[in-house]
Amino acid sequence: MCGIVGYIGDEQAAPILIKGLEKLKYRGYDSAGVCTNDGEKFIVEKEKGKIEVLQKYTDDGKNIAGNAGIGHTRWATHGEPSKINAHPHLSQSESFAVVHNGIIENYMELKQELSEKGIVFCSSTDTEVIAQLLEYYDNGDLLDTVTKIMPLMKGSYALGIMYKEKPDEIIAVRKGSPLIIGIGENENYLASDVPAILDKTRKIYRLDNEEIAVIKRDSITVYDAEKNVVEKPVETIEWSMDAAEKDGYEHFMLKEIMEQPKAVHNTIAERIRDGRIVLDEIKLTPEQIRNFDKINIVACGSAYHVGVVAKYIFEKLLRKPVEVDVASEFKYRDPIINEKTLTIVISQSGETADTKEAMQEAQKKGSYAVAIVNVVGSAIAVGADDVIYTLAGPEIAVATTKAYSAQLAVIYMMAIYFGDILGKISEQDYKNYVSELLALPEKIQLILDKTEDIKNTASKLFARKDVFFIGRNIDYALSLEGSLKLKEISYIHSEAYAAGELKHGTISLIEDGTLVIALSTYDDLGEKLQSNIKEVQSRGAYVLGIGCEGRESLKKCTKSVIFIPKTCDIMLPSLAVVPMQILAYYMARFKGCEIDTPRNLAKSVTVE
């Protein structure tokens, strides 16, 4: 949420900053700005709207002088998206410039105190308070000033700070929100996320909480909050720039949909050895697994939907109760969990504030937390008791696809692995599950090969105003994701309903031409679902079915059907989600929507 970039070196800073921001626009895109120091003063340029507006206005940054600067792309929290509220923010007499990710929770209080001292604010943001605090406490020693204001601010922050008197340095500091420092040759960088600087350097330092980096052209020194120097390990980013580029696709989302066979393959390949699932990256012992009497899953958005699928799978295979919570609700309902509860936390970014807080709450209550995370070294990965990484590669499109699929793959592996330890899975079933798991990438590819047909279906449906996704059991869990995918990128109103529940109220919304997408992959409840299809059809609904090859009866009660290959029950979501992603993508595209950066959304949501 919000993107930060910084540069100090011999080159003109602004073009580098703006290029970096372009790579980060998935983190927020309602306004963007840069601030450079030309040796005498700050030059600030910011614009409301996407980065393209700033690019045009500044000729890609070429008309902004200075060899050091900071930039920001914003996802508004405090104050509407506007030029005034865009970052960077300056202090009253323009001695400090600040870019910020996160939220200063006590900013009203701080603003009040500073206003009483005569300081005049010009924006509605919490960030401006930071710039004003720096100026108020300024004693000429930048590092010292920063450490003085840190304890005054409650909440989370990743900051890029410039001080007019010291044009040769940038300060980076974080608490909660992520921040990395890129190491170059006679030039150094600052960024909230790797893609911003990946075409410049692969060597980075990851700042830990409450660490402060003083970044100069030829040196980087990291301090803790007590101003002690901290030795940081240099991390080398292994993935290439191509992984963060569109690679000929019109959108990242389509590229990432197409990458799913690889994402799933990479996630499972190393973990299946000689026909056995090996999760040797976790410290959780078989004894601990046997002792858990409950599983608790917390996540947000699509990751939460993976959790709902997981509930069906774990309960079926392990016969242990599973609770799934939206992370933002979990913490505040005083959940009944203890050391006999296993908590599973799911997050692509590993930085989602709600999920992180929920995990900490569970750990506080004595629960052991295993995190399923895509971004290596992220806060959730570091804070969990164990982490299982999805190896989906960097995901850029705001609407997740390949990370969702990779998370499902980890859930299957955990379920089979735990089921085996608990003695709930026969040797034959174990073998079948493993062979189906290994076949998933190929079966996903078979669906991707039908993209043109699904696109054709989308061309007939994209003008619908309301869509209902229905399913039973694991199909219901999956319908949640199908519906979210469609609404988040196409802005078409859609809802997911347990098919049997529709008749208890919502069926009143079905009228002539309402699109109903009926998921009927789960064979055991196929007949029952067909009855629900008939109920909506007789009220005028246009029904599109998604079912496994061989379920010919589905053709009789729907307008059209997308068939997917067969697999074992628990792995059906991995296949059925793919046509829904493609459908959502093309419906949005036919409507002329933005797709990779849908309105009001951000990929990594680091505020509560």
Residue ranges that bind ligand G6P, judged by CB under 6 A: 300-303, 347-349, 352, 355, 398-400, 601, 603-605
Q: Which of 500, 440, 457 is nearest to 475 (CA)?
A: 500
Question: Shortest distance, CB of residue 248 to ligand G6P, whole angstroms?
Answer: 24
Query: Which residue's Cβ has the minimum distance to ligand G6P?
Result: 301
Active-site annotation holder among 2, 35, 557, 593:
2
Listed in order, strand segments (DSSP E) in 209-320 are 211-216, 220-223, 235-236, 272-273, 276-277, 294-299
In the complex with ligand G6P, the residue whose CB is nearer, 400 or 473, is: 400
Q: Is 300 an annotated catalytic residue?
A: no
Question: Shortest distance, CB of residue 478 to ligand G6P, whole angstroms?
Answer: 15
- Residues present in the chain in total: 608
Active-site annotation holder among 200, 356, 443, 603:
603
Rounded Cα distance between 598 and 595, Å, is: 6
Whether 16 contacts 193, CB under 8 Å:
no
Query: How many H helices and E strands in the chain?
Result: 19, 26
Question: Shortest distance, CB of residue 602 to ligand G6P, whole angstroms?
Answer: 6
Question: Shortest distance, CB of residue 349 to ligand G6P, whole angstroms?
Answer: 3
* Chain Cα centroid distance, residue 479: 20
In the complex with ligand G6P, the residue whose CB is nearer, 20 or 598, is: 598
Query: Tokens standing for 533?
Result: 């299809």
Whether 322 contacts 310, CB under 8 Å:
yes
Q: Where are the alpha helices (DSSP H) in 156-271?
A: 252-258, 260-269
The residue assigned the tokens 């705001």 is 398
Q: Is 603 an annotated catalytic residue?
A: yes
Question: Shortest distance, CB of residue 306 to ligand G6P, whole angstroms?
Answer: 9
Query: Tokens standing for 414?
Result: 């955990």
In the complex with ligand G6P, the residue whose CB is nearer, 200 or 331, is: 331
In the complex with ligand G6P, the residue whose CB is nearer, 36 or 355, is: 355
User: Which amino acid type is present at position 233?
Assistant: P
Residues whose CB is less than 8 angstroms from the CB of residue 304 and which lie 6 or more positions away in sequence, other chains included: 324, 326, 327, 346
Q: Which of 367, 370, 366, 371 is nearest to 347 (CA)?
A: 371
In the complex with ligand G6P, the residue whose CB is nearer, 123 or 604, is: 604
First to last CA, the chain: 11
In the complex with ligand G6P, the residue whose CB is nearer, 583 or 607, is: 607
Question: Shortest distance, CB of residue 427 to ligand G6P, whole angstroms?
Answer: 35
For the annotated catalytic residues, the residue numbers are 2, 603
